[in-house]
Amino acid sequence: MLPDEFPAFLKSFTSPPPVSVRLNPLKHATLKGNAVPWCTRGIYLNARPRFTLDPLFHAGAYYVQEASSMFLEHLVLQLRLHQQPIRILDAAAAPGGKSTHLLSLIHPESLLVANETIRSRLPALTENLTRWGYPNVVITCNDPQHFGALKGYFDVIVLDAPCSGEGLFRKDASAVRQWSQEHVKLCALRQQRILQNLWPVLRPGGLLIYSTCTYNAHENEEVLLKLVKSKEASFAEVEIPPDWGILHSREPVSGYRFFPHRVWGEGFFVSVLRKTAEEPVQTVRAKPENVSPDVLQTLRSFLAAPVEMGYLRFSDQVAALPASLMQDAAWLMQKLNVVSAGTAMAKVARNRITPLHPLAMSVYLNRNTFPETPLDLGEAIRFLRKESIKVEGPFGYCLMKYQNVPLGWVNIVPGRANNLYPSGWRIRLMD
């Protein structure tokens, strides 16, 4: 691939990998650094801070993400996927980098289904999406073959495929240890199976965005060629500025390659396919469970959203999501193993309403509904460790914030303030 540039490629492994983050556009935090060229809110940091001890990280004000992966934004904007409501499947979503990025880009009434097959990876995905704070997402835990009941349902499928990880060799020693030719072959077979299972779920004219963090053609071009030869599909292309350093190959597959000696980022490959076949599209029919009017009146006061919101019963909780997506969410609950839908706003028991942590993280939280207490850095760290902190104010639920970004709830009762930060999320690292 790199006959003349191979020495420069090898030399890039002697330099430390860049540290990059992507800002949440609706949490309004500021971080200093150089801009990632293909991502409007991507930033290269001058040094790697201790993210675990930064309250803004826990508040979902930014996401720590490898810069090459942020190229997804350029594809979304160039292909105009942000201009109207659509349905998107992030088929291998954990830990949540591409899902959080998509939520920042797409129309507020678009539906994102963030799926993770491996159950042990679900907590990280759920936590990151909760921190990010957007309601138009359904989290599922399904094998790709389980999506067969959703034929023609999605406008876009994003598959960051499990791969051999060659593009991460500079920053991940375990990727080096695990690599072998047999592992590459196994990954290619797994990728082919996933694509064959997911392709029927894409509507006619829909787009598949396929990516890996590996270099070899077995897991990239060859996998996609087999799909194109067995299905009716064509490649979709976007324009890229030459000074970005990205290699755009057009034959036999149209794809975009990132090499660490050419870009300030790690190894990455991405390609976009369009479904050209005419096939039946799934009809959605489902009726969401009603929420009592008195509970609804209270819950509506908790949010200030740019779109009309609906409220969905989920076990003993009520979740909020755009009203236009209510039927879709209820239908998906019938078809898939749904972990969560929308923003889990409150636990409701006998009309007693207890606000939940995802409500504090919501980008649509009505900041006029609850009293707020600003915390300095030390207080915020103690709160995130789920330690007791002194809070003055009226009895009831109070929102803790750091640099005006919400962190979570305390419940002020006579003599103390109960810290309601999720126990499983608390900081365990010492200063």
Active site residues: 213
Q: What is the CA radius of gyration of the chain?
A: 22
Enumerate residues 6+ apart whose C-beta is below 8 A from 410.
373, 383, 389, 391, 397, 398, 400, 417, 418, 419, 420
DSSP secondary structure, 324-336, as one string: GGHHHHHHHHHHS
Q: Tell me, what amino acid is at 112?
A: L
Containing 87, the helix (H) or strand (E) segment is strand 87-90
Please name every residue paired with 309 in a beta bridge, in sequence order, or none if there are none: 322
DSSP string, 198-214: HGGGEEEEEEEEEEES-
**Residue among 328, 423, 406, 343 at smallest CA distance from 24:** 406
Helix orientation angle between 181-198 and 221-230, rounded to the nearest 10 degrees = 30
- Name the residue among 328, 343, 315, 431 with its Cα closest to residue 384: 431
Q: From CA 205, how far away is CA 208, in angstroms rounded?
A: 10
Runs of H (alpha helix) within 13-62: 55-58
Instruction: Using alpha carbons, list the distances in angstroms from residue 286 to 3, 320, 333.
Output: 57, 17, 9
Query: What are φ and ψ of residue 234, in 5° steps?
Result: -140, 160
- Spacing of C-alpha 390 from chain mean position: 34
115 closest CA partner among 133, 132, 137: 137
Q: How many angstroms separate the CA atoms of 428 and 293, rounded?
A: 41
